Amino acid sequence: MNNRSQRNIDVARLRAHHLLMHRIRALEEVALKASHDNLVHGCLHPSIGQEALAVGVIAHLTKRDLLLSTHRGHGQALAKGASSTAMFHELLGREGGTCGGKGGSIHIADFGVGLLGANGVISANIVIGAGVAHAVKLKKEDRIVVCYFGDGAANRGPFLEGLNWAAVFKLPVLFVCEDNGYAATTKTRTMTAGPGFSDRASAFGVPSVEVDGNDVVAVDAAAAELIQEARAGDGPRFLHAKTFRVTGHTNSDLGAYRAKGEVEVAKAHDPIARARELLISAGVAADALDADKDSAYAEMEAACRSAREAAFPAANMAFVDVQDVGSPLVEAF
């Protein structure tokens, strides 16, 4: 065994993480199949291979804490407590979805569990996250904000604006950079100057931690410290996690731009397999872990089946929950 097997492990906690990672992966694999069956209208952005980042961080949040995600946000939604059945109804555009079947994958949200939504605009959620955290501070609420974004977003202006604002006003927010090495189809390192994203955060006085994003135990430990500090009123924190998505950018992307063998190398560091290895080394039976996996896939198959059998929203629902302030030609000018 390697050094990871020698760490002190909370077996019950790690097993719960292992199950949740299986649930996230099962949701996305079943959703991808539904997409290939033409049941999903629009893009899916899978996070297969990145499950440890959703699980290890969100394990430290309460229901009152607030979360902002990206277009690749299925894992965060499920980890925050969203119903898998409601998520599948949303992905398939059916009644009973988290947004009534109108948001789909890219804009999935569930205010009931503190998930303020995914966002299809790259890096837009960073400044929104800073704004939400500012509201929390002004209202003196006992909760924090966690904002996920990708490495591509860290090369856009809102990254600097959001971190600067959060640092200036000492806001209760944890920024989590899911660095999977690619901004859509472009290797991030070919378009990124300087030593890295953590140094950018440090330039604003925001303490940062770099972590192996495929090691759920390491993510859990790093997030615990950073979230405790943000919750104590010490200001924003930054978590830079290196990971890898084993699928293409979307459900229709074959990933042909990747070097030969790159995905196979990455799969050797699969976060679920690594958690399983640790659990077996700690004495958990392989059959029990297999049962956890089976239950995850059974849950997601049932959730997808429920969505397939559900009705589409009535046409008159198109204008429900939609803000209308009138024509901008009249109202704004």
Tens of pLDDT, residues 289-331: 999 999 999 999 999 999 999 999 999 888 887 776 677 666 6
% of residues, the chain, pLDDT over 90? 81
Q: Delineate the domains of the chain, giving CATH numbers in brackets.
A: 9-311 (3.40.50.970)
| DSSP sequence for 92-152 | TT-TTSTTTTSSTTTT--BGGGTEEE--SSTTHHHHHHHHHHHHHHHTT-S--EEEEEETT
4 pLDDT higher than 90: no
pLDDT tier at 254 (50, 70, 90 boundaries)? confident
53, 241 contact by CB (below 8 A): yes
pLDDT at site 322: 76
Q: How many helices (H) and strands (E) does the chain have?
A: 12, 8
Cβ atoms of 246 and 51 closer than 8 Å: no
3-class DSSP state of 28: helix
Percent share of the chain, pLDDT over 70:
95
According to the model, what pLDDT value does residue 320 have? Answer: 82
Determine the Cα–Cα distance for residues 50 and 53; give it in Å rounded to an integer: 6
Which DSSP string corresponds to 212-242?
Answer: ETT-HHHHHHHHHHHHHHHHTT---EEEEEE
Mean pLDDT value of segment 185-199: 90
